[in-house]
Structure 1
């Protein structure tokens, strides 16, 4: 263990057994990530919680009494932040989380273990919300293959599908927030979103690693689709 340039202690992971270099570097980065350490200290399930918190601090997306859908919610960091901000823990708002994976209970969060691509998903979530959503958010990332063009198509496809889902459940004036990569949203998707929403922007919270191409698409003022 040594100190880095900032004076913080830096944990170095030794290569052991069949551990790959990529696994060693990932583990080392996790152990030295201040947001990972802070998440553990403050009781959040993932460092991603701070990304949503920082975006909300700047753009004031989450308000008491709102209805929120969290797509691909596991392990639940974003749902934790949303539940606190909208007051669903006290019954003032609603947070509905959906994921293919199981997710342990979170106070103030209704969870559905299902695929949001399923045709029945929008109706199911509307039932859980007792109406439409004020905010649909997604921190999902497509599984990567290592082939840049293939991965980009997967990423764009996932965001497009999430945007289509949002259009099914959002109330007028609602907001859509989703993870994108590299240059942001695909041009065709961006043009479509500009028709559906009053304002479109790309944001990168401080909690996003600086060496990552990760950004977030923030679409506000939903006005419905022009089919």
Structure 2
């Protein structure tokens, strides 16, 4: 590894067994201020700052008492919730294993599993103030297919939010470039007082990710009796 460029930018030499793409990834990580900040402040990933920035703009974590984190791995968003709202109950779910986080219940299972919503509801013990989804489908390299697969997760999260949010609650989900499609936006507007799209500064400029922020859940008959 060598240091070069202006401003002390670190450059990585291509070594034996390291591809050019992996070299570029490593160089980007080494020079990413959010990566360095996450390491210094004890967050598991730079993604923590996406939620921090969204919270600063939309006040998502103000007064929350119950939070669900869909796609919790590696845990950065849950860490932010615990620091900003230390008394809140937090339940997360992910296919991947996640190291324990103090005060967070973590379920290792597929959110699309038909048993997942009931497990999440049981662990939370009441209606949620906030449902966060940083889920994204595994990409196959075909933009349209990748978009459809990720939007299916967003739609499933929206249906779950309609069951599990208390009136006034919020749903935040990762979408890809172009944002949520028209049908989903219409459904979100039916369910929530405000629906906006945002790309926090911590989201890399070359990334296609955006977030949809739906706030002021209007309530629904199904939401009054969450699954036992």
Is 1:168 the counterpart of 2:125? The answer is no
Match of 2:119? 124
Match of 1:146? 141
* Contact 1:196/1:226 (<8 A) preserved: no
For 1:86 and 1:64, locate their aligned partners in 2 and report how far apart those are by CA, in whole Å.
7
User: 1:10 offset after TM fit, Å?
Assistant: 1.5
Match of 2:5? 3
For 1:170 and 1:96, locate their aligned partners in 2 and report how far apart those are by CA, in whole Å.
14
Structure 1 pair 141–207 and aligned structure 2 pair: CA distance change class (3 A): same
Match of 1:22? 21
Question: 5+ unaligned residues in a row in structure 2: which ranges?
Answer: 223-228
| Per-residue CA distance 1:103-151 (angstroms, 9 max, x = gap) | 1111121111121112222221111111111100011222111112111
1:1-227 matches, cutoff 5 A: 1-4=3-6, 7=7, 9-87=8-86, 92-224=87-219
User: 1:34 offset after TM fit, Å?
Assistant: 0.5
Structure 1 pair 197–64 and aligned structure 2 pair: CA distance change class (3 A): closer
For 1:33 and 1:111, locate their aligned partners in 2 and report how far apart those are by CA, in whole Å.
29
| Per-residue CA distance 1:154-209 (angstroms, 9 max, x = gap) | 12112112212222211111100011111111111111111111100001111111
* Contact 2:163/2:220 (<8 A) preserved: no
* Contact 2:50/2:201 (<8 A) preserved: yes
User: 1:16 offset after TM fit, Å?
Assistant: 2.4
Alignment: residue pair count: 220
